[in-house]
Structure 1
Amino acid sequence: MTDRTDPSLNRRKLRLALRRAREHAELSQREAAERVEWSQSKLIRVETGTVGVSVSDLRALLGLYGVDDPEKVKALEQAARGSKGPSWWSGYHDVITPQFAQYLGYEGAADSLHTYHPIVVPGHLQTRGYAEALLRPRDLEESRFHRVVDLRMERQQRMFDGSGRPACVFVLDEAAVRRQIGGAGVFRQQLDHLLDVGSRPEVSVRVLPFDAGAHYSTLGSFVLLGFPDDDDLLYLEHVAGSMTGGEDLRLLARYQECFRAITDMALDESRSADLISRARHDLGVH
């Protein structure tokens, strides 16, 4: 990502450290909140990374949990100071849901991203022309329309053009690389972009061919985020969007297995690039 010091990343660092410290102290959320004279809902918001933490509130919790290592306390105090303020997507608050905003915070901290799309090219990989053509049928107000596209482009720039980029595996159904969104010219540029991004060392673009047959996720797209210090997270992409992690390990495991199966069924990177190139050639635009 372009900026790894986004407030959401500091909130996540605090969320993990404080939750683990509380569990190590063998205190429930209710017990901890009562001991520091907080509402339980405030502690929950801190432990989910929804809000930042003041240094004074942090010190109260660390004292309660018996965390007194100077280096650790210093690092967490620095994170607390950086946990305030808006995240990069806050300027788009009028066009994103709270659920998706929370997801973006997780995405910014992930060190791996695995996703499958059965119908269209995912937003991470869309060109501006493709995104505009895809959104046109939604009949959005003009100002809102452009802000949604701008959000999509900035998110993509932060993912691929900065330091700390996650390792990404994108599996696209062949339908996504055959459906001409925006006409031949726009779609050719989109296919060129897929080939370009797929050539980067940290990105794998795979195509699931039509003859692969049925599989578990033929009805929808999903994203799996991986973290070196936390449970993986599953984001199911639909109108409302939904996330699950450690609270539903069975569903998470099902989609992890699904992605492994889809990846096994998909073409490798080289043959996927060949298929995308053939789809581009079939457009008849040179």
Structure 2
Amino acid sequence: MTPPVDPSLNRRKLRLALRKAREDAGLSQREAAEQIEWSQSKLIRVETGTVSVSVTDLRALLGLYRIDDPDRVHELEEAARGSKGPSWWSKYHEVVTPQYAQYLGYESAATSLSTYHPIVVPGHLQTADYARELLAPRGLDPDRARRVVDLRMERQQRMFGGPEGPVATLVLDEAAVRREIGGKTVHAAQLEHLLDLGGRGRARLRVLPFTAGAHYSTLGSFVLLGFPDDDDLLYLEHAAGSMTGGEDMELLARYQECFQTIMDLALGETESLDLIDRIRQDLGAR
């Protein structure tokens, strides 16, 4: 079953539409806020998609920006009604930082996702057992660890379980594929899961082999999100997490070049799945 549209997607739709309408009207955020007697911070929150928008507030903005086409007004009013309520990850609030929550909102709206992982299989692709074993050394409270695993599994289901997911290209270093997390049984099941996702075309899996030698990479994993109606976004995966988009185009371009270089060096999809399968078979023979 396809998950319902998340409120964050409607907030994003409004964010893009209202920012463009304000710019088309030739108004700065300060000028627009003053004319409808809002604080500037309120308008900023609306334009960043961090808050829902009431129909009353939307109509005030549309009037200011002189948007009166009935179909367009109706479309945006429906988005405003759908922007209320918690996002799907809100029930995991105890294990989701504000920065990561913001990222999840963008990821839910992305039409493409490209990522490179040099050390372990990424959360997008992990089995529950693999995720639990990966978390074990952190010494998390058992309930907290369980919630983190549940979050990863629901995120994965939303990305790959229906027809609406993004085009996902995931490059794994050979080290990530070979590293035994949780012993042979857990590792073998994880590799089987990769083969299943790759074989069904739900994820475009590529492996960067040891034979690729030196390459331009990073100190950690990263995710590039693509949108048809907005700037691409870079998410650097570390303890705090950080995102950048149009505000740092140079950094974004550098990571886009990095990913293309890695793609050029990686095995093709069929060769990558063959390598994963050989590693899985080697586990069974030991």
Say yes or no: TM over 0.5.
yes
Aligned residues: 286
- 1:49 match: 49
Q: How far did 1:149 drift?
A: 0.4
Residues 129-144 of structure 1 mapped to structure 2, 5 A cutoff = 129-144=129-144
Residues 208, 265 of structure 2: 8 Å contact kept:
yes
- 2:278 match: 278
Establish whether residue 76 from structure 1 lines up as the match of residue 114 from structure 2: no
Q: Where has structure 1 moved over 3 Å in runs of 4 or more?
A: none
User: Structure 1 232/150 Cα, relative in aligned 2: closer, same or farther at 3 Å?
Assistant: same
Residues 166, 202 of structure 1: 8 Å contact kept:
no
Q: Distance in 1 between matches of 2:199 and 2:36?
A: 52
Task: Report which stretch shifted further, 65-74 or 198-207.
Answer: 198-207
Q: How far did 1:193 drift?
A: 0.5
- 2:157 match: 157
Q: Deviations over 1:33-72 (max 9, x none)?
A: 1111111111111111100000010011111111111111
Residues 184, 285 of structure 1: 8 Å contact kept:
no
- 2:265 match: 265
Q: Distance in 2 between matches of 1:2 and 1:181?
A: 32
Q: Secondary structure at the match of 2:95?
A: coil
- 1:180 match: 180
Which AA in structure 1 matches 2:197? V
Q: Distance in 1 between matches of 2:218 and 2:251?
A: 16
TM-score, length of structure 2 as denominator length: 0.97
- 1:27 match: 27
TM-score, length of structure 1 as denominator length: 0.97
Q: Distance in 2 between matches of 1:111 and 1:49?
A: 18
Q: Percent identity?
A: 74
Q: How far did 1:217 drift?
A: 2.1
Q: How far did 1:202 drift?
A: 4.3
Q: Secondary structure at the match of 1:283?
A: helix
Q: Distance in 2 between matches of 1:222 and 1:266?
A: 16
Q: Secondary structure at the match of 1:181?
A: coil
Residues 8, 87 of structure 2: 8 Å contact kept:
yes
Q: Secondary structure at the match of 1:206?
A: strand
Residues 130, 182 of structure 2: 8 Å contact kept:
yes
Q: How far did 1:200 drift?
A: 2.3
Q: Distance in 1 between matches of 2:85 and 2:213?
A: 48
Q: Distance in 2 between matches of 1:229 and 1:48?
A: 15
Structure 2 residue runs of 5 or longer lacking an equivalent are none
Q: Distance in 1 between matches of 2:214 and 2:39?
A: 49
Which AA in structure 1 matches 2:83? S
Residues 174, 208 of structure 2: 8 Å contact kept:
yes
Which AA in structure 2 matches 1:179? R
- 1:251 match: 251
Which AA in structure 2 matches 1:276? I
Residues 2, 159 of structure 1: 8 Å contact kept:
no
- 1:37 match: 37
Q: Distance in 2 between matches of 1:66 and 1:47?
A: 17
- 1:5 match: 5
- 1:114 match: 114
Q: Secondary structure at the match of 2:225?
A: strand
Which AA in structure 1 matches 2:166? P
Aligned CA-pair RMSD:
1.3
